[in-house]
Amino acid sequence: MALDYINLLNESQRGAVLHTEGPAMIIAGAGSGKTRVLTYRIAHLLEKGVDPFNILALTFTNKAAREMRARIEKVVGPEAKNLWMGTFHSIFARILRSEADKLGYPRHFTIYDTQDTKTLITQIVKELDLDDKLYKPSTVLGRISAAKNKLISVQQYMNDPVIKQDDEAALRPKIGVIYQQYQQRCFKAGAMDFDDLLYQTNVLFKDHPDALNKYQNIFHYVMVDEYQDTNYSQYLISRKLAAKNRNICVVGDDAQSIYAFRGADIQNILNFEKDYPELAIFKLEQNYRSTKNIVKAANSVIKNNQAQLRKSVFSDNEEGPRIEVIRAASDNEEGKLVANSIYEEKMNHHLSYDHFAILYRTNAQSRAMEESLRKLNIKYKIVGGLSFYQRKEIKDLVAYLRLTVNPNDEQALRRIINYPKRGIGDTTISKLINAAEESNHTLWEVVTNADQFLPARVSNPVVDFGEKIKSYAVVAGKDDAFEAAKFIAKNSGMIEDLYADKSIEGLSRYENIQELLNGIKEYVDDPEREDKSLASFLQDIALVTDTDLKDAKDEGESVTLMTIHSAKGLEFRNVYIVGMEENLFPSQMMITSRTDLEEERRLFYVAITRAEKKLTLSYATSRYQWGNLRSCEKSRFIDEIDPTFVEFKYGQEESPFAPVLERRSNLVGAQKIKPAAAPVKPYVPSPDFKPSDTTNLAVGNKVEHPKFGFGSVSKLEKQDGSVKATIQFEGGVGEKTLLLSFAKLRIV
C-alpha cells in the first residue's frame, strides 16, 4: 500500500515523507500540498510499525485535525483513531486533566471561554473601584493573555519594571493587581482560560520533571503544523516534548506568518535550525493551486522581505491572465467596479458566484462592497464577521438614529438607554418597562416623564437621556442625514467610548463607525438624491439590511467576503483584493518598523496566493474619512509586483484628486520581454450624453455606454426579474453582458 501513495508525491514531497528519524523542517510554499505530505508522513510511520499512541500531531484548528485524521484513516485504517492528534489547546487540556492534581486543580476543571473571562474581569474591576473606561475587559484580557503567552507569571509581571512602566504610561497601573486577582479567582473556581491551557502545561513540565519524562516517553514522534504561527509558549512545549527522542517535524511557511498580533513569533521557524543543527530541510516549492502569473507575482512581492527562508516557488499550471489592477475615483466607485467585474466574469465564463472572493484588510471595508453587490442582486456571505449592518456598534448607532426619528421605537430605546453607560441600571430599566405596561403608556412616554414614576435620584439620568434624544430630533429636523448622524455619534458618547478602547477589537469597532458615517456622507452627496434626511436614509438601509444572507448560504451560490486574515488556508478561482492604498494596506499602524511592514507584506502574499485562476487588485484615489473626502495613494505593494504580470484598468468617475493616468513606460528591461498592454485611454462620452429609458430596448438598437462607447444590442434575456443585455461594442472593446437596471445606456 505504501507504494500507492508514495508514487503520488513529487520528489520533494517524497523526501519529506520518507525521512522519519531525527529533526525535520518542511518549508511548504502556498498551494504546495502541505496537508498531503503531513498526512502521508504519519501514514508512513504507522505502516513502518510505529504505535499510533506514540505519535503527537499538533494543528491549529479542529477542522485541520479532523481532515487529516480522515485522510490517514483511508490509507491505514481505524488505527488512525489512536493518534494523539488535535489542536494545541485540546491536546494539552487532555494532558492537564490527567495531571491536574499536581497543579492543585480538580481533574474536571472548567475551561472559561472569552465571555467568561471578560465577565470575571468586569467584576474584579468593579470590586477594585477602578475606572471601567480605562480598564475595559478586552484591553485587560489582551494584556493578561500576552503575558501568559510569554510565560510571564503574576509575580514576574508585578516585579518587572518595564511592564510596570508600560502600564503606568497607559494609565492602567493596576493591571498587575487585576491579573493577580483574576488568577486567584480562576484557581479558586477550579477554572482555566484558553491561555492557561498552554501556560499551565509549561508550569507542569517545568515544576514536575516526572510528568515531562512521562510524555517524552509516550511521544516518540512530534509533528507541528503551521509552525510559523506558534507563540513562545507553544514553541517551548513542543521543544521539551521532543527533547528526548529528537524526532520532531515542523511544517510551515515563513512567508505566511501573519498572526504576530496574536502572539505568533516568526523567529520560531526562522531559527529552528539553531535548536537542531542536524536538521533535515525539505522545501515544497511547486504550487499546484495557482497560475504561473499569480505565483510569479507573489514571488516578486515576497522577495522584498529580509527576514525569510529563501525558496523558489514555481507552478506548472497554465500561464493565466495577468493581474488586473483597477483604479477607482472613490471607494464607492471601487465597489461598483468590483461588483460589475464579478457579474461580467460570471456571465462570460459561466461561473458560479462560489468561485469569487473579495478580500480586505479591515472589516469596515465590506460596506461599499456589500451595497454594490446588492444593487446587482449578487448574493454574498460574510466569513469571519457579521454583515456590516449587523455589527453591534453599527446597530447601536443606528438605534440612536432610529430613536431620533421615531421615539416610540421601543427596541431601539432599550438597546441604547444605558449605552454608553449613564447610570441607568437593569433594575431601573425593568421599573420603566413595568411602569409603561401598568400605565398603558409607551416606554418613551414613561422615560420623558420618569420623575413621575421613579425617585429623583434614579429618574434624573433617565430624564436627561430623554432630553438628549429630543435635542437630536431638533438637529435631524434641520440638517441632512450626515450632519445629524455625526452630531448624534459624538454627542451620545459613542465615539469617545470606542476611541478609548485601544484593543484590536476596539479599533475595529471605531473604524466601523467611521465607515458608517462615510456611507451616510456618500448618501447625502449623491446629486441625484432629492431627500437627504435622516428618515430617508434609515428607510434606505432598512430595505437594504432586510436581505437575509442565510438564503445565499442555503442556496449555495454566493460571493465570499472576508478579511485576509480569515482567508488563510482557503482558495478561490477568482480573488479580488480591495483597498490597495497606503495607510490602509499596508496599514497605517504597520509602517513604522521593518518587522511590522514585513508582516504586512506577508499578509499581501497570503492574499495573492488564495487565487487559482484570476487575481484583481483595486484601489481608490479618494476615500471618505469621518465625512471628509481624502486623497489616497496607491499601495507600495502594487509597485512591488513585477510589471510583467500586471495590467492596469481605470474607472470612469472623476475624482478631485485623480492623478494623471499612470503610464507603464518605466518597465525595467521592457525591450527584453513581451511588453504589457498600455492602459486604454478612458472613453469620453458624447457631450449630450444622458441615460435613456431602456424599458423598450430591442435587439439591434445602437447604444452608447459612458465607459465602453458605442455598440449594438445582440441579445436580451430576463433573469430573476432583471433584464440582461449582450452588447457588441466598437473600438476593440468587444462583447459585454450588462444588467439594464445598473448600466447607464443612451439609445442612439
Instruction: Give me the active site residues, please.
Output: 34-35, 225-226, 256, 610
Task: Say if residues 155 and 204 touch (Cβ distance below 8 Å).
Answer: no
- Give the E-state strand segments of 416-567 in sequence order: 559-563
Residues 6+ apart with CB under 8 A from 511: 362, 363, 364
Residues 6+ apart with CB under 8 A from 609: 30, 31, 287, 289, 290, 294, 295, 298
Q: What is the rounded distance in angstroms from the CA atom of residue 314 to the CA atom of residue 11?
A: 14
Beta bridge partners of 456: none
Residues 6+ apart with CB under 8 A from 35: 64, 67, 68, 71
If we measure between CA atoms, which residue out of 255, 129, 247, 236 comes closest to residue 181?
Answer: 129
Beta bridge partners of 713: 727
Full DSSP string of 555-592: HS--EEEEEHHHHTT--EEEEEE---BTBBTTBGGGSS
If we measure between CA atoms, which residue out of 285, 291, 283, 290 comes closest to residue 313?
Answer: 285
Helix, strand, or coil (residue 271): coil
**C-beta neighbour count of 542 within 10 angstroms:** 12
Evaluate the omega torsion of the peptide bond into residue 586 and state whether it is cis, within 30 degrees of 0.
yes
Please say whether the dihedral angle defined by the alpha carbons of residues 635, 639, 641 and 643, taken in this order, is positive or negative: positive
Task: Say if residues 249 and 221 touch (Cβ distance below 8 Å).
Answer: yes
| Joined grid coordinates for residue 728 | 457588441
If we measure between CA atoms, which residue out of 638, 611, 549 comes closest to residue 359?
Answer: 611
Beta bridge partners of 615: 575
